[in-house]
């Protein structure tokens, strides 16, 4: 099960899925794609419930749950519902704040101010392409970046401001978990990712020579990592 990050929907995985050997489904979180909803109504809990409902809908008895970027905040809520059905949890370039804090709490003060102004003006909207080129496209060629921009969407503010509950991870230490760390990540610093991996706990780390959107720039390599995790159990 592939869960997209902030500012994207299920389509961001389209280049990766053909390279996977294992059956895979990319989900849309509420407020986009197959799950339309007012963005302001979306919470980490409703996102987790939506992920679990998509697992039920396809009838998987067990899953390797893969989250990218902001999905690190909603994955614990999904794990709370799915429980033992999560055979392995994979965090790809994720943001996983400390217990009770939010994704926005992990960013510098100037970024917080920009986010606050965006909320006051009616919502975050779609990220400006010039900013996206810096934070998402630093290892992309022009064709890849154009493909990326076409799949950017508005984000639900509650997924960045809602407090995370890490209890499902702490209460289920037996769930294997892996962190995939892109070393060229320009938005979630690789050093900060190690701190986030500590918040996940019991987490092995696999480094990848790629930027934040590694499913676009390195789909074959990331698919190989995920297939290896799936085959190992």
Q: Write the DSSP assignment of 51-86 as a string of letters.
A: HHHHHHHHT-SSEEEEEETTHHHHHHHHHHHHGGGE
The answer to whether 39 and 157 are in contact (CB under 8 A) is: yes
Report the DSSP pairing between strands 177-182 and 2-3: unpaired
Task: Say whether pLDDT at 204 is over 70.
Answer: yes
What pLDDT is recorded for position 108? 72
Task: Say whether pLDDT at 141 is over 50.
Answer: yes
Task: Say whether pLDDT at 123 is over 70.
Answer: no
2-232 CATH fold: Rossmann fold (3.40.50)
Return d(Cα 40, Cα 147) in angstroms, integer: 27
By the 10 Å C-beta count (0-12 exposed, 13-18 middle, 19+ buried), 84 is classed as exposed
Instruction: Show Cβ contacts of residue 97 under 8 Å, excluding neighbours closer than 6 positions.
Output: 73, 103, 105, 106, 164, 196, 199
Return d(Cα 209, Cα 219) in angstroms, integer: 12
DSSP state of 94: -
Return d(Cα 26, Cα 28) in angstroms, integer: 7
Nearest to 222 by CA among 165, 178, 160: 178
Sheet holding 26-27, edge to edge: 26-27, 2-3, 63-68, 86-92, 177-182, 203-208
Domain ranges of the chain: 2-232
Return d(Cα 160, Cα 70) in angstroms, integer: 8
What pLDDT is recorded for position 126? 86
What pLDDT is recorded for position 68? 98
What pLDDT is recorded for position 8? 97
Mean pLDDT over 155-170 rounds to: 96
Percent of the chain with pLDDT over 70: 93
pLDDT tens digits, residue range 45-92?
Answer: 999 999 999 999 999 999 999 999 999 999 999 999 999 999 999 999
What pLDDT is recorded for position 120? 53
**CA angle (86, 80, 89) in 5-degree steps:** 35
């Amino acid at each position: 099960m592939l869960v997209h990050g902030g500012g994207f929907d299920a389509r961001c995985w389209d280049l990766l899925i053909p390279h996977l050997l294992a059956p895979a489904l990319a989900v849309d979180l509420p407020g986009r794609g197959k799950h339309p909803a007012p963005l302001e109504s979306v919470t980490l809990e409703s996102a987790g419930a939506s992920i679990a409902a998509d697992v039920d809908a396809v009838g998987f008895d067990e899953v390797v749950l893969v989250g990218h970027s902001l999905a690190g905040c909603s994955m614990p809520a999904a794990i709370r519902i799915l429980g033992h059905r999560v055979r392995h949890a994979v965090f790809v370039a994720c943001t996983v704040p400390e217990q009770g804090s939010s994704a926005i709490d992990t960013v510098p003060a100037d970024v917080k101010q920009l986010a606050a102004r965006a909320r006051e003006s009616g919502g975050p909207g779609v990220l400006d392409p010039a900013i996206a080129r810096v934070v998402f496209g630093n290892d992309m060629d022009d064709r890849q970046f154009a493909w990326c921009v076409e799949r950017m969407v508005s984000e639900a503010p509650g997924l960045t401001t809602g407090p995370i509950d890490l209890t499902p991870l702490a209460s289920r230490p037996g769930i294997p978990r892996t962190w995939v760390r892109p070393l060229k990540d320009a938005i979630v610093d690789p050093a900060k990712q190690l701190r986030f991996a500590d918040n996940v706990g019991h987490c092995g780390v696999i480094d990848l020579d790629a930027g934040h959107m590694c499913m676009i720039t390195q789909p074959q390599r990331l698919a190989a990592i995920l297939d290896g995790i799936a085959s190992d159990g």
